[in-house]
Amino acid sequence: MSVAAAVAQGRATPAEMMAVAAARALSDGEVCFVGIGAPSTAANLARATHAPRLVLVYESGCIGAKPARLPLSIGDGELADTADAVVSVPEIFNYWLQPGRIDVGFLGAAQVDRFANINTTVVGDYDRPSVRLPGAGGAPEIAASCRQVYIMARHSPRTFVAALDFRTSVGFGAGAGDRERLGLPGAGPVLVATDLGVLRPDPETAELVLTQLHPGVTVDEARAATGWDLRVAGDLEISEPPTASELEQLRRLEATQRPQGAAGGGRAPHHETERSRDH
Amino acid sequence: MSVAAAVAQGRATPAEMMAVAAARALSDGEVCFVGIGAPSTAANLARATHAPRLVLVYESGCIGAKPARLPLSIGDGELADTADAVVSVPEIFNYWLQPGRIDVGFLGAAQVDRFANINTTVVGDYDRPSVRLPGAGGAPEIAASCRQVYIMARHSPRTFVAALDFRTSVGFGAGAGDRERLGLPGAGPVLVATDLGVLRPDPETAELVLTQLHPGVTVDEARAATGWDLRVAGDLEISEPPTASELEQLRRLEATQRPQGAAGGGRAPHHETERSRDH
Amino acid sequence: MAELLNLHDAVARLVRDGDTVAMEGFTHLIPHAAGHEIIRQGRRDLTLVRLTPDVLYDQMIGMDCARKLVFSWGGNPGVGSLHRFRDAVENGWPGPLEIEEHSHAGLTNRYVAGASGLPFAVLRGYAGTSLAEPGRTANLAWVDCPFTGERLAAVAALRPDVAVIHAQQADRDGAVQLWGIAGVQKEAVLAARRSLVTVEEIVDRLEPRPGSVVLPAWALTAVAVVPGGARPSYAAGYYDRDNDFYQAWEPVSRDRDRFLEWMQAHVLEAVPA
Amino acid sequence: MAELLNLHDAVARLVRDGDTVAMEGFTHLIPHAAGHEIIRQGRRDLTLVRLTPDVLYDQMIGMDCARKLVFSWGGNPGVGSLHRFRDAVENGWPGPLEIEEHSHAGLTNRYVAGASGLPFAVLRGYAGTSLAEPGRTANLAWVDCPFTGERLAAVAALRPDVAVIHAQQADRDGAVQLWGIAGVQKEAVLAARRSLVTVEEIVDRLEPRPGSVVLPAWALTAVAVVPGGARPSYAAGYYDRDNDFYQAWEPVSRDRDRFLEWMQAHVLEAVPA
């Protein structure tokens, strides 16, 4: 079924299922450091549904932003106007992110490897990249310092790769124990929400394991979309489909953001992934 | 003649002459980091007379304060209410003082030595002090980082000592070249205004030399009030007495500050010097 | 998330014997009422931290709450000495008082490092002073710049067990707003493991104000409503500094007996807020 | 003391070929008009510094103003790639572009060190990333905490030759006030040797406002009045972000010829402010 048909029938598209899966993982009252794009959508969906007291922190310095519409950029006036406090960029990184005050850091990715490390810098060789991506932004320190990290990425072998071209942000490094060795204070990624399912790190090895499939997706599809030999949890779960309320709120939110329209051009290979951590 | 008689006759007291001598050294438009007490009085006198665009910076975070009355403490509301900007204490020290943006730092002292080093910490042994003074406050970094430093102190052998009991703030350390060796960015003290005259460092040796006497004071009086063998400049000058306008402005300013009154108690040995860098 | 408590309960829950306690306020918004409650509850062996210990810490030292004082300028602003502080340092009364003293810049950066989750902060300071003599000043060291080779002062992060500040307003959720001279209060709160903010009043909404500092409720432990809680210091927009009190403290604090009588009448027998 | 100049003269005096230039603005208050004037005056070999190079730096790179880019996130916010930046990095057009890239936290702290007069700043960052590989990232090193022995990232101070920012207001003396999202603008100005602030308007008095940053005139080099000087970004209280422009930039910037035509028509032939 086409995306348009799914929307028309009130059923969730894969991207919507990804947003809902990520949103559900947030608990009310948590403090969440969000980037623009998919993470901001998911966090605002959580706030609009089961987590009305979720605290959104944006790296532009907006603490406790309560946007009525989805911001197009991380420095939107809407974020400042609705924030409990607006602080400088040095303060947001040094006083709020670095000390580990943030419960959940939300990251997108152009590439993710089996230990949930992330690349948002280049595809190909660093000095002669085939695609130059935006770069690090706040991600390395979000990945290092938040108590937990959630990752959102479309599931494809181009994104879920055996080896990153560049490690912009650390998930579990070379595996279990590496975060401790590197002195990274937070617990690292606990969840990777994709449009096919949810991956979580194995508590022993820190390798990402498929623990949940969205309705209608098969294990083979998920494995085919992963660039390494994806392990599957014994107690694999099937995601609850989005509720009517979740879908309604998600679509209402997305309608508040101006459609990207024709200006966005064709679907260039990494266009989606670039947008996933815009700013 | 008594102080009361001098005031009654419109003539300057020694303390007033000290304030006037210090105020005159400030140029219009300079940026001045001031403590409460004598330095604040002198700086505000300069602003009320020849230097209306003098910029006063207080370590409480008040930048460009324009107090109508002399503040009793460095965090007076009057300073915040009249400032161009009020910033945090970390910011005032890290962004404004430390990088050398301040033209003149104004310090009081309980003890001063021949190289214009300052003690505001203890009289006697550090661990068993005979008098415990307030301590460093902002002084060490004011002395280190301002482009120039002015010192104000009553002239007595108890204050102008051969050897400090504690070096709270560095003037010229052990002598010429020591500031460079210590990596102190500012030029150090250029002037010590007392109630007897003005001392300035010898450009060769950095030793304080009596370069100016207030009217009616003799070299012998100044030497007797100094705890080391005070050198006297060959071209010793006599201070111009305060003009009528200077005296009028000074007394007007001091009248805005509540008299210390009986509550201040007797003149304890170091009471004056303690007040000279209050806060 | 900040809990709304009365002052008695807030102090009882947050401040424990032996704690390192930072009660900040740079002339403005000094948390006097909370300090008096700590005295009334008889806390002992505290390490008191503050850039500018003034009358409040003089009282707490004289009432034997403190084992140690970490500070950078200890005087009665605009008046003179802190006689209870001096009596403790000079004569060991009512007990010995250990001191760790810094410059304002140094102690400020100890808070900044604590608030930043870093183990230390770097500054241009201390060089050539007696504070920098080997063994003199705890939590002071030196680092070499890895780029220029320059030697700079390093101060260890300060992580108080509890920070206590006073602010003008809180909202019903426990977010706090203060304005006017803000000193190092934000850093003290963010550096501390627990925090108590006393406020003049609770308002429905914290209206944005020029020069204000807002601390979200989730960054605080407890909020207590204590109108006048900063007196005799001041709270911009609420009341002025009682300069007469600071003058009057001079003769009261000079004499041990007079001091104790004053504390008995004005603090120990006072009705808690 | 800030001099009041027109934009042409301010850029002519303050910005020189080969300079390191920081034009800051975090989505908000991006100094587009000043950047266009730099393009019109044909500056070359600049080292452009900015946390978030976006459309303005895309234009300056495409017009061959820059030899080097120091940055931490280079994209068109909410839209996608910066095609002129990518073309320079991927294909060396219109010339080779050297890059030095950091994380936001790292580059921010390079400014903080510069503003603080320190040679470096310390942060928890970079560890374990490819940015931390030996030889990869200039101005990144490691220091050991002298108290705990912990190894931390150190970044070298950034001291731009000139910082350019846009603000809402200046007074007649050249003091400047901006409000809303303030990014790292204060640090960029205080870190730089020279500074230019373009403003929406001159007012008789800077009325204190919630959340405002005030820079005194004596901390600035030049102020130029340029109404609309941040368009298509926004200036809180004056105009909104032109999101359509950012969308429209995508196809314009994809194509070298279309880009050059656009710049010719909208920048080179535009009447300077």
- Residue among D1, D116, D186 minimizing CB distance to B99: D116
User: Which positions in chain B touch C108 (Cβ < 8 Å)?
Assistant: 89-90, 93-94
Measured over all CA atoms, what is the biggest interatomic distance in chain A, rounded to whole angstroms? 50
Closest CA to B34 of B73, B84, B68, B69: B73
C30 band by pLDDT with thresholds 50, 70 and 90: very high
SS3 label, residue D84: helix
User: Taking CB atoms and an 8 Å limit, are D103 and A136 in contact across chains?
Assistant: yes
D138 touches C at CB < 8 Å: no
Contact D77 A279 (CB under 8 A): yes
Tell me whether A101 touches chain D (CB under 8 Å).
no
Residue-level pLDDT at B35: 79
| Cβ pair B183:C85 closer than 8 A | no
Percent of chain D topping pLDDT 90: 97
Q: How confident is the model at residue D272 (pLDDT cuts 50, 70, 90)?
A: low
Q: What is the pLDDT of residues A84-127, one digit of tens each?
A: 999 999 999 999 999 999 999 999 999 999 999 999 999 999 99
Which of D71, D75, D182 has its CB closest to that of A279?
Answer: D75
Q: Which among C119, C146, C211 is the nearest to D147, CB-wise?
A: C119
Of A55, A63, A95, the CB nearest to C190: A95
Q: Determine whether the interchain pair D118/C143 forms a contact, defined as Cβ–Cβ distance below 8 Å.
A: no
Which among A90, A98, A131 has CB closest to D184?
A90
Hey, is the C-beta of C116 within 8 angstroms of any chain A C-beta?
Answer: yes
Distance from CA of B95 to the nearest CA of D (A): 5
Cβ within 8 Å, pair B278-C75: yes
Q: In the complex, which subunits touch C with 3 or more CB pairs below 8 angstroms? A: A, B, D
CA distance A250 to chain D (A): 18
Catalytic residues of B: 59
Interface check for D250 against chain A (CB to CB < 8 A): the answer is: yes
Question: Residue B269: its pLDDT value, please?
Answer: 32
C127 touches B: beta carbon within 8 Å:
yes
Q: What integer pLDDT is reported at residue A1 of this predicted model? A: 54
Q: Give the neighbours of chain D: at least 3 Cβ pairs within 8 Å.
A: A, B, C
- Answer whether B94 touches D (CB < 8 Å): yes
Q: B55 vs A121, B36, B67, B245, C83, CA distance in Å?
A: 47, 15, 11, 21, 35
Do C122 and D118 make contact, defined as CB atoms within 8 angstroms?
Answer: yes
Identify all chain D residues contacting B84, using CB atoms and an 8 Å cutoff: 175, 206, 214, 216
> CA torsion angle for A179, A112, D54, A268 (degrees, to 10)?
180
For D162-196, the pLDDT digits (tens) are: 999 999 999 999 999 999 999 999 999 999 999 99
Q: Which residues have CB under 8 Å from A259's CB, separation 6+?
A: none
pLDDT in tens, B65-81: 999 999 888 888 999 99
pLDDT of residue A257: 77
Q: Say what the pTM is.
A: 0.95
* Nearest CA distance, A48 vs chain D (angstrom): 21
Helix (H) or strand (E) holding B253: helix B244-256
Average pLDDT for chain B: 90
Structure tokens at D147: 């108290």
Residue B266 has pLDDT above 60, yes or no: no
B188 touching C (Cβ < 8 Å) = no
Indicate if the pLDDT at residue B271 is higher than 60: no
Question: Which residues of D are less than 8 Å from C212 in CB distance?
Answer: 210
Burial class (CB in 10 A: 0-12, 13-18, 19+), B8: exposed
The residue in chain A having the minimum alpha-carbon distance to the alpha carbon of residue C111 is A95
* CA B217-B220-B223 angle, 5° bins: 105
d(CA B52, CA B64): 12
Question: By CB neighbour count within 10 A (0-12 exposed, 13-18 middle, 19+ buried), where does B111 fall?
Answer: buried
Residue B125's identity, in one-letter code, is: D
Identify all chain B residues contacting D186, using CB atoms and an 8 Å cutoff. Answer: 95
Q: What was the pLDDT predicted at D270?
A: 84
Q: Which residues in chain B have their CB less than 8 angstroms from residue C187's CB?
A: 88, 90
**Chain B neighbors of D189, CB-CB under 8 A:** none
Which residues of chain A neighbour C119 with C-beta distances below 8 Å?
A: none
What is d(CA B148, CA B101) in angstroms, rounded to the nearest whole number?
11
Q: Tell me the chain A residues in contact with residue D76 when contact means C-beta distances shorter than 8 Å.
A: 278
CB contact under 8 A, A84 and C175: yes
Q: Pick the closest to residue B104 from B45, B41, B56, B173 (CA basis).
A: B56
pLDDT above 70 covers what percent of chain D?
A: 99
Separation of alpha carbons D105 and D126, rounded Å: 9
Q: How confident is the model at residue D75 (pLDDT cuts 50, 70, 90)?
A: very high
Distance between C106 CA and the closest CA of chain D, angstroms: 14
Taking CA–CA distances from C207, the nearest residue in chain D reads: D210
ipTM: 0.95
Percent of chain A with pLDDT over 90: 83
The pLDDT of residue B265? 31
Cα nearest neighbour of A31 on chain C: C218
Closest CA–CA distance from residue C77 to any residue of chain A (Å): 30
pLDDT, residue A279, reads 37
* CA B129 remoteness from chain centre: 24
Q: Is the pLDDT reported for residue C169 higher than 90? A: yes
Mean pLDDT within D252-267: 98
Chain D residues within 8 A of B101 when measuring between CB atoms: 219
Q: What is the pLDDT of residue A276?
A: 37
Cα D123 to Cα C151, D105, D120, distances in angstroms: 18, 8, 10
**From the candidates A30, A59, A141, A207, which is the catalytic residue?**
A59
Across chain A, mean pLDDT equals 90
Residue B208 and residue B191: Cα distance in Å, rounded?
A: 9
Q: What are phi and psi of D82, to 5 degrees?
A: -100, 105
Contact status of B267 with chain C (Cβ, < 8 Å): no
Using CA coordinates, name the residue in chain D closest to A93: D105
* Mean pLDDT, residues C67-78: 95
What digits encode the pLDDT tens for the residues D93-142? 999 999 999 999 999 999 999 999 999 999 999 999 999 999 999 999 99
Name the nearest CA neighbour of B73 among C212, C28, C188: C28
> Is the Cβ pair B29, D117 closer than 8 Å?
no
Q: What is the pLDDT of residue A262?
A: 32
Q: Which among C116, C187, C214 has the least Cβ separation from residue A85?
A: C214
| Helix extents (H) in chain D | 7-14, 32-40, 55-62, 83-91, 104-116, 185-191, 243-254, 256-263
* Closest by Cβ to B31, choosing from D187, D215, D218: D218
Alpha-carbon gap, residue A142 to A144, rounded angstroms = 5
Residue A4: pLDDT above 80? no
Give residues with Cβ within 8 angstroms of B8, minimum separation 6. Answer: none
Residues 6+ apart with CB under 8 A from B113: B160, B161, B162, B163, B164, B171, B228
Q: How far is C17 from chain B (nearest CA, A)?
A: 26
Name beta bridge partners: D179: D212
Taking the Cβ of residue A100 and every Cβ of chain C, the question of whether any pair is shorter than 8 Å is answered with yes
Q: Are strands C3-4 and B231-238 parallel, antiparallel or unpaired?
A: unpaired
- pLDDT higher than threshold 90 for residue D273: no
Name the residue among B97, B121, B265 with its Cβ closest to that of C254.
Answer: B265
Place of tokens 């108080």: C160
Q: Nearest residue on chain C to D143, judged by CA atoms?
A: C146
Element (H, E) at B274: helix B271-276
Contact of B228 with chain C, judged by CB distance below 8 Å, is answered with no
Tell me if A59 sits within 8 A of A33, measured CB to CB.
Answer: yes
Domain architecture of chain D: domains with CATH? 3-102+159-268 (3.40.1080.10), 116-156 (no CATH)
Residue D249 touches chain C, beta carbons under 8 Å: no
Tell me the C-alpha distance between C159 and C179, whole Å: 24
| CB neighbourhood size of B199 (10 A) | 29
Using CA atoms, how far residue A60 sits from A134, A267, B49, D104, in Å, is: 17, 28, 45, 10
